[in-house]
Structure 1
Amino acid sequence: MCAYVKDPRRMDTICARTEAQDHFGARSMKGCQLWPPPAGPITRPGHVVLPQTCCGIRCFARVAYVSTSAPGNPRAGVGAWADRGSAVLPHALARPRWPRDRTESSDQRIQIARVGYCQRMPAHTLPRPLVDAFERARVLDTPAQAIAKRVRQLLAQPTLKQAISGTWLGHPVHPPLTDVVIGSFLSASLLDVIAPRSGGTAARRLISVGIAATLPTALTGISDWADTELSDERVRRVGLVHAELNSVALLLYTASLRARRHDRRLSGMLLALAGATALGFSGYLGGHMSYVRGVGVNQTAFDPGPPQWTAVLDSTELGDGQLHGTDAEGAPVLLVRHDGGLYAIDNRCSHRGCLLSEGKLEGAVITCPCHGSQFDVRDGTLVRGPATASQPLLDVRETNGRIEVRAATRG
C-alpha cells in the first residue's frame, strides 16, 4: 500500500512514504509529515504548506478544507504533489482520490496518512495505457482461467512441479531461461544488421537455439503464472497476453528460419525483425508481472518482524501440536508448539503469500493450503516446493504468561 495524495487541479501524484511493499500490500506505513509556515496555524482552504523532503520527493501540501468543530486543533484535508524537479518520478492512482478524513492536522503539523493503493506504473511511461487496458480486459478471464486450470492439473505431480518451479535452484527457473531465448533471437537479428552477408550461418544457429529453448521457458513461465492468477486478476490477464505474444514471436522466428534455409534471406530478416518486436513487448509484460505485480518474488522478503520483543498471544491459548496465526506490528507470524518447544516463523508462504496458519500441521512440518509447499516450523527450512525459499524464523519466548516474538537476531 502506498500513501498517495493528490491535488485535484493537477495530475501529479506522489507516494509520500512506503515501507515493505509488495503486491499483497504493505506491512508497515508511517506516513510523511509536512509543516506549514511559521506565520500561523492552518486556518483556511488554499493555505500552502512549506515544502519538505520525504523519501527523496520534495513535497508541497495545500489545505482543501478546515473543520472548525475542534477550535485550536483544526483538522484539514490536504493535497500533496511532487516538485516537478524531483528525482523521483510521480505515479498515477487507479482513480482520483481526495484524502479528506485520512489526512489530519494538529496545530502546526500535518500528518499524511495512507490514502491510496499503488496500482499503476509511472504516469509518463509510454506503454502504460496499453498495459492498463490489458489489466482491465475481463474478456481475457474465461480463456485464461481455463488454461490455468488445465496447467495446474497437468503439473500437479510434486516432483515435476518442484523441478519446474526451481525449488532445487533456490529461485524460479523461468527468468534465466528467458535470457537464453531472448538473447538467441535478438542476437540473430543483430547479426542481420551488422553482418548481413557473413553472419547468415550464425544467425540460423542462434534462431535454432532460441526455438529449442522456448519449450522449457514457456513451461516454467506458465507454471508460475498458473500459481498466481487465482489471487491476482491483473496477472491472469497480462499473463495471457504475454503468452500470446511469445507464441507470435515463436511463429515468426520459425518462419524466419524456414525462409533462411530456402535462401530467402531478406524475408528471413524481416520475419525475424517482426519476431523481435513481438518478443520485446512480451518481455516488457513479463517484467511488469515480476517487478510490478510480484510474480515469482519471495513474499517474505519484506517481513523482518518487529525489532523489539512484542507480545502476540497468551501462553494458555496455544497447546502442544497446535498452530496459531497472528500479527506482530504488521508482520504475519505463525506460532507452533511441538514436542514441548515453542517456534515462530513467518506466516506468509514465501511462494505466493498464502497463510500457513490455514494449512495442515503434521509433526513439525506445515503444508501450505494453496500450492502444497512444506516447511519445518522449527527453523523455517523448506522441505518441499514449489516454493523456492525457506520461511524467515523469528525469536520467540514466553514471559509473564505471554508469548513474545521479535526479528531473529541469529543468522
Structure 2
Amino acid sequence: MRELPFLKPLTRLEDAKVLDPIVSRVHGVVDALLKPRALEDVLHGVPAGHPVHPAIVLVPAGTWIGAAVLDLLPGSGHASRTLIGVGVVAAAPAILTGWVDWARGRREQQRVGIVHAAANESAWVLYAASWLARARGHDTVGKALSFVGFGLVGFGGYLGGHLGYRQALGANHANAVLQRFPAGWHTLGPLDDLPEEQPVRREVAGEALYVLRRGGRIDVLSDVSTHLGESLVDGTLDDPGDASATVTTPLGSVFDIATGEVVHGPATAPAIRFTARINGDLVQVSLPRD
C-alpha cells in the first residue's frame, strides 16, 4: 500500500530550509537554558536508559482524549474539566523534555520538530483557555476550544511519529550492530599497528570499530554512536591514560571507554562494547554474548 498522497507534504518538512532561521533562533534559547549538564541528562532520560519524552507525553494526551470522549456525553462537564486541567499541568514536563531532545537533533529533525512543537504547544494554549472558559461557566466555548486543541494534538502526534520512527530521533542508532556482527572471535590486526593512547578506526566483519590501546589494555567500542550514529573516532578523547577515560562525540554524547556506559547525553543507550584479547601478535575481538 502506498503512502497517502496528502501526507507527503508533511513528510517533506525535513527539507524545508525556510524554517532554518526560526530553528536557529529557538535553538539558541533552548541551548542557553540546558544547564547544568546533570539536569539535561535527566531530561534526556539518561538515568532511565531511553528518552523519557514519549512516556511523559502519554499523560496529557491520555487526559485530553478522555476529556474529548466525556464532552460527547451528558452530565460530564466537571469530570471533563478536571481531565483537561490535569493535562495542562502534565504537559509542562512533556514540553520541556521534548525541547531538550529537539535541541540535540540534526537540522532536518529540528525542522520537523519545530512544527511538531508549534502544534502541540498551540494545543496546550487552547486547552488552558478551555479550562478557564469552563471554570467561568462557558461550557460551549470550552468544548469548542478543546476540540480544536484535540485536532492539533493529533497533528502534532503524527509529526512526532515521523520524528521518532522515520527520522529516528531518540532511537538507538547502533543496535543493528548487535544483529550484524558474526559470532566468535575475529582478528582486528597486529598489536603493533595500534598507536598508544590514540584512538583509531578499524573494520572487522564490515563493522567500524573504535579501538584504543593503553599499554597491554585494548578497549574496543562500536564506532557508531547510539545517539545519531556519529563516529566516535571523530570525537574527542579525554584523559586517555586514566581508567575512567571518556570519548565525547561530535554531537556531544560522552561515553566511558572501558564500559561503554553513557556519562552524559544526549545518548541514552550505552555504546556497544566488544571484548578484546591478544593472541600472539594479533588483537582479536568478539561481542560479549559469544
Q: Does 1:227 align with 2:104?
A: yes
Q: Does 1:356 align with 2:235?
A: no
> What SS does the corresponding residue of 1:302 show, helix, strand or coil?
helix
> Matches of residues 56-71 of structure 1 in structure 2 within 5 Å?
none
> What SS does the corresponding residue of 1:212 show, helix, strand or coil?
helix
> What SS does the corresponding residue of 2:50 show, helix, strand or coil?
coil
Q: Which position in structure 1 is the counterpart of 2:249?
A: 369
Shift of 1:356: 1.7
Q: Pick one of 309, 332, 336 that aligns with 2:208.
A: 332
Shift of 1:344: 1.1
Q: What amino acid sits opposite 1:288 in the alignment? A: H
Contact 2:227 2:268 in 1 (8 A): yes
Normalising by structure 1, we get a TM-score of 0.65
Contact 1:355 1:368 in 2 (8 A): no
Q: What amino acid sits opposite 1:166 in the alignment? A: G
**Cα displacement string for residues 304-358 of structure 1 (whole angstroms, at most 9, x for unaligned residues):** 2343433333321213322212222332211112352112111222223222222
Q: Which position in structure 2 is the counterpart of 1:309?
A: 185
Gaps in structure 2 of 5+ consecutive residues = none
Contact 1:211 1:250 in 2 (8 A): yes
**Which structure is higher in helix share?**
2
Shift of 1:400: 5.3
**Cα displacement string for residues 222-269 of structure 1 (whole angstroms, at most 9, x for unaligned residues):** 11111013xxx3312111110110122112111211211121111211
> What SS does the corresponding residue of 1:321 show, helix, strand or coil?
coil
Contact 1:167 1:388 in 2 (8 A): yes
Q: Does 1:170 align with 2:49?
A: yes
Q: Pick one of 123, 134, 142 that aligns with 1:260.
A: 134
CA separation of 1:295/1:269 partners in 2, compared to 1, >3 Å: closer, same or farther? same
> What SS does the corresponding residue of 1:273 show, helix, strand or coil?
helix
> What SS does the corresponding residue of 1:356 show, helix, strand or coil?
coil
Larger relative contact order (C-alpha < 8 A, sep ≥ 6)?
2
Write the distance in 2 (CA, Å) between the matches of 1:207 and 1:127: 31
Contact 1:356 1:366 in 2 (8 A): no
CA separation of 1:217/1:292 partners in 2, compared to 1, >3 Å: closer, same or farther? same
**Cα displacement string for residues 185-214 of structure 1 (whole angstroms, at most 9, x for unaligned residues):** 111111101x232x1111111111111112
Q: Pick one of 79, 89, 93 that aligns with 1:202.
A: 79
> Matches of residues 114-193 of structure 1 in structure 2 within 5 Å?
123-125=2-4, 127-193=6-72
Shift of 1:156: 4.2
Contact 1:349 1:368 in 2 (8 A): no
Q: Pick one of 136, 142, 155 that aligns with 1:281.
A: 155
Q: Which position in structure 2 is the counterpart of 1:384?
A: 264
Contact 1:354 1:368 in 2 (8 A): no
Q: What amino acid sits opposite 1:181 in the alignment? A: P
Q: What amino acid sits opposite 2:167 in the alignment? A: R
Q: Does 1:345 align with 2:225?
A: no
Normalising by structure 2, we get a TM-score of 0.90
Q: Does 1:242 align with 2:116?
A: yes
Shift of 1:369: 3.0
**Cα displacement string for residues 16-59 of structure 1 (whole angstroms, at most 9, x for unaligned residues):** xxxxxxxxxxxxxxxxxxxxxxxxxxxxxxxxxxxxxxxxxxxx
Shift of 1:396: 2.2
Aligned pairs, how many?
Answer: 284
Contact 1:395 1:409 in 2 (8 A): no
Write the distance in 1 (CA, Å) between the matches of 2:51 and 2:156: 19
CA separation of 1:301/1:215 partners in 2, compared to 1, >3 Å: closer, same or farther? same
Shift of 1:279: 0.4
Identical-pair percentage: 31
Shift of 1:284: 0.8
Q: Which structure has the bigger radius of gyration? A: 1
Q: Pick one of 189, 195, 212 that aligns with 1:319.
A: 195
**Cα displacement string for residues 141-186 of structure 1 (whole angstroms, at most 9, x for unaligned residues):** 1111221233122214211111111111111110111101111111
> What SS does the corresponding residue of 1:380 show, helix, strand or coil?
coil
Write the distance in 2 (CA, Å) between the matches of 1:253 and 1:370: 39
Write the distance in 1 (CA, Å) between the matches of 2:149 and 2:238: 49
> What SS does the corresponding residue of 1:128 show, helix, strand or coil?
helix
Write the distance in 2 (CA, Å) between the matches of 1:306 and 1:374: 27
